[in-house]
Amino acid sequence: MSEESTLDEFLGPKLTNTQMGIVVGGSLSSGLEVKINSKLSIERLAVGRYVVVEGRSGRRFFGLITDISLGSINPDMQRRPPDSSEEFVTQVYSSEVAFGSIHVSPMLMIDEDDDELRPIKTIPTHFSPVVEASAADVARVFGEEDETHFYVGTPLEMETVQVNLDLSRFVERSSGIFGKSGTGKSFITRTVLSGVIKSRLASALIFDMHNDYGWSVRDETGREFKGLRQLFTDGRVSVVTLDEDTSRARGSKIDRVLKIGYGQIQPEDVEMLSGLLGLSDVQVGALYYLRRRLGKDWISKLLQEDDSSELQGLLEDGRIIAGTLGAIQRKFEFFRRMDFLVPGEGDDALEDIFRRLTSGTSVVLEFGRFGDTLAAYVLVANYLTRRIHRRYVHMKNKAAGGKEEQPKPLVIVIEEAHKFLDPTIASHTIFGNIARELRKYNVTLLIVDQRPSAIDDEVMSQIGTRVTCLLDNEADIRAVFSGVSGVSALREVLARLDTRQQAIILGHAVPMPVVVRTRDYDENFYASIGVLEGNALRDGAIQGSETLFGD
């Protein structure tokens, strides 16, 4: 007897073509209880798999296994278990008296006379048979890959089926990619952004804290992976750096260096750093006063080493006390350490970035060594976003008046998003506004974060599409599902994802929640994006030269 058949004998038949069980209870809000077939081993099942419930009226219901449990007809059995040394007795018990059950969250339904997938509005009747969804069933739900649908992974144990993200819906609302550190958030983000850039549906402004997106990056094993700039060599991606030395040392091709002049910084840009710089409410209030009194060069004047008569005058006015001024000056020493902040007016980087974004070019802003300084990241992200958003609002308003074209949709990618969207500040920061106003001004966020629980609830409830890798903190899991109805049962699925290459995708861009093994970010992926390497590159070059110069 082969090993496989011995296993089958032990575990029961494989799921394919086997009725898994029958519906024995449940509700639309809490999901369905399914008693599993006694011939089927519960050990063959896994949360996150798709099932189809064949309703008695001809309707078919698509659902997801969200929990697996052991039940018994008689609750006393737990206190009075059978003698497990007798195999016969155990086998007799393990079917009708003691049985396995699964909890299924129904997601979609298809009417008998209509082939269209519809959101779930009712549930199948008692004793409707439940079967595992076939590859064809699942493929039908997620459709074909095309210009606006991007292949991001495969459902668990269905390697032949593609899960395609509807990118037009993905960029329509703000989205989130969540997961514990080390679960592959950056790879998934890079994959999704590749799709967005390839589709030309939106430009992306990526605040690349850890230099993960622009140029090549290595994983823990030392394997190198291409960055977005290498995948799109036709100019669709620009890399702007804050730290030219680090970018050049990494061999990164950069398109420009960003320098921000002290004169360009407004008190609003600094206010968001209050927590990080330790500015009190009084000191934050004083910033506005100082800006008004000192003018455009307010930061330069505050950073002057020698005593300034202008500052002395402020103290003499009595509107600000020496202690407050001194504290602000000490805390502003931070600006001096940030090399990308320069005295004066800075350059036209902002205008250049805006021009690139509105012409359809995505911009990766590399932070280099400044990525380790959270205050620098928050300052720059806030600085650029506020100004770019303002311009988009202006463009959009002009477009509404018929004076200009609609601005190209923009996706702003921020990491460590909870630092920008903390409940105490989210209501009055630009990121909170963007998340709340949805696509009103063609600007949306893609937030990448490991602590979704630290993000403001109102903002989380506005996140359209959520791609979530493993999370095990209860508060984070709860936060990911906030504002999405009918998916609370998925929390068991989420808590049991593998630490690598598995994610649950739910929301606006997928017809139903799906647990995916994310697509490999490798040569095949590069090829699908259009990158040619090795022999293919050589052949392409030969063909090109023949076309140009003949044989």
Residue with Cβ nearer other proteins (80 or 403) = 80
Residue with Cβ nearer other proteins (40 or 217) = 40
CB of 231 vs other proteins, minimal distance in Å: 59
Residue with Cβ nearer other proteins (81 or 235) = 81
Binding mask 21-40 for other proteins (x = CB under 8 A): -----------------x--
**Which residue of 96, 146, 523, 533 would you call a contact of other proteins, by CB under 8 A?**
96
Residue with Cβ nearer other proteins (38 or 134) = 38
Cβ pair 33, 20 in contact under 8 A = no
Q: Which of 496, 518, 489, 495 is nearest to 505 (CA)?
A: 518
CB of 45 vs other proteins, minimal distance in Å: 21
Residue with Cβ nearer other proteins (70 or 73) = 73
Within 10 angstroms of residue 520's Cβ, the number of other Cβ atoms is 12
Give the relative orientation of helices 349-358 and 374-400 as an angle to the nearest 10 degrees: 50
**Which residue of 7, 28, 70, 73 would you call a contact of other proteins, by CB under 8 A?**
73
Q: How far apart are alpha carbons 413 and 174 in whole angstroms?
A: 10
Residue with Cβ nearer other proteins (4 or 87) = 87
Residue with Cβ nearer other proteins (97 or 249) = 97
Residue with Cβ nearer other proteins (77 or 350) = 77
What's the maximum distance between 2 C-alpha atoms anywhere in the chain?
Answer: 97
Residue with Cβ nearer other proteins (91 or 485) = 91
Within 10 angstroms of residue 301's Cβ, the number of other Cβ atoms is 18
Q: How far apart are alpha carbons 523 and 216 in whole angstroms?
A: 13
Q: Is the four-CA dihedral 360, 361, 362, 365 of positive or negative sign?
A: negative
Binding mask 76-95 for other proteins (x = CB under 8 A): xx--x-xx--x-xx-xxx-x
CB of 70 vs other proteins, minimal distance in Å: 15
DSSP label at 544?
A: H
- Of the CA atoms within 13 Å of residue 246, those in its CB half-sphere come to 20
Taking CB under 8 A as the binding criterion, the range among 68-76, 415-423, 442-450, 482-490 that sits at the site for other proteins is: 68-76
CB of 38 vs other proteins, minimal distance in Å: 7
CB of 11 vs other proteins, minimal distance in Å: 17
Per CB under 8 A, 9 contacts other proteins: no
Cβ pair 456, 426 in contact under 8 A = yes
CB of 94 vs other proteins, minimal distance in Å: 9
Q: How far apart are alpha carbons 131 and 532 in whole angstroms?
A: 43
What are all long-range contacts of 422-430, with beta carbons under 8 Å and residues at least 24 apart? 422/275, 422/454, 422/455, 422/456, 423/455, 423/456, 423/457, 425/272, 425/275, 426/455, 426/456, 426/458, 426/459, 427/456, 427/458, 429/272, 429/382, 430/382, 430/385, 430/386, 430/389
Q: How far apart are alpha carbons 440 and 347 in whole angstroms?
A: 30
The footprint of other proteins on this chain (CB under 8 A) covers a number of residues equal to 17
Within 10 angstroms of residue 439's Cβ, the number of other Cβ atoms is 14
Tokens standing for residue 495? 């808590």
CB of 84 vs other proteins, minimal distance in Å: 12
CB of 100 vs other proteins, minimal distance in Å: 15
**Which residue of 6, 30, 69, 74 would you call a contact of other proteins, by CB under 8 A?**
74
CB of 9 vs other proteins, minimal distance in Å: 12
Judged by the rule CB under 8 A, the positions of this chain that interact with other proteins are 38, 73-74, 76-77, 80, 82-83, 86, 88-89, 91-93, 95-97
